[in-house]
Homo-oligomer: A and B are copies of this chain.
């Protein structure tokens, strides 16, 4: 662990139990998602089965956890942040379903289970993604405005992070970059959009639900951006160092698809170093919360050190 990270961790006399924190948040998020989504039996059952299949396929709920932790850091509660946390998770899940399609990354496994189109067929998988994206905005509309943030800001935040200039731009650049020799700058462009944008949006929305100040919102953006990039670099590293079994998805697929990754451009050790540096930057961004961002700090360390 870096010195900064250790110092930050040492500020608290009680060690922060992230495992328990994540379990509790993840259970709460699952309950909320179950409440927000139409039941499996709702007609037409196929689409609701397909939506729920991917939404409850064992995702780690990192984005909702980051959203809820950001709300906490700003003195807000879980209930106010929950619709936004769930909206982000629906958007994340829709993007995975569509990314896995044969016309995109053509993946058979995700989180150790068959991908949506392998179970329901391509047509329904496309529609299940569409439906989850739409559902995300329906859930986000349940947000209760705060003195500083109206529905308009929340929607703008969500649509920009997931639109053609961010999340979708990243997937387009990723598709177009296959088989090409990208440099570090081009790769960063992809990572910023495919991963950082939605992570950044998750923590900012958490802050908004807690009526955060502009300074806090900027700090959260800074944190989300750096954690997001580190997260994606670690993903690249795990793709070449772990087996498919360990990951629950096809390992080595970046190499197979001739995709540029941090390790392929700057090497494994340098990639690890960059991820550590980004995590330190993320830590620094949290200083403004004066020790109230324990969960965010622990999440950043966890994302850096994870092995799957």
Contacts and interface: CB of A to CB of B under 8 A. Distances in A.
A124 interface: yes
A127 B163 contact: no
Nearest to A140: B155
Given A155-B138, A156-B138, A169 B43 contact: yes
* Majority secondary structure of chain A interface residues (helix, strand, loop or mixed): helix
Interface in A126-170: 126-127, 129-131, 133-135, 137-138, 140-141, 150-152, 155-156, 158-160, 162-165, 168-169
A298 B129 CA distance: 37
Contacts of A42: 165
Interface in A36-78: 38, 42-44, 46-48, 51
Nearest to A42: B165
A135 to B, nearest CB: 6
A141 B134 contact: no
Chain copies in the assembly?
2
Residue among A42, A152, A158, A176 with the highest chain B CB neighbour number at 10 A: A152
Given A135-B163, A152-B141, A130 B127 contact: no
A51 B168 CA distance: 12
Contacts of A195: none
Given A152-B151, A175-B123, A164 B104 contact: no
Interface of A: 38, 42-44, 46-48, 51, 94, 98, 101, 103-104, 121-124, 126-127, 129-131, 133-135, 137-138, 140-141, 150-152, 155-156, 158-160, 162-165, 168-169, 171-173, 175-176
Given A134-B164, A137-B158, 17 more contacts: A42-B165, A44-B169, A46-B172, A94-B130, A101-B123, A127-B171, A129-B130, A133-B133, A135-B159, A135-B164, A137-B155, A137-B159, A138-B155, A141-B152, A141-B156, A150-B151, A151-B155
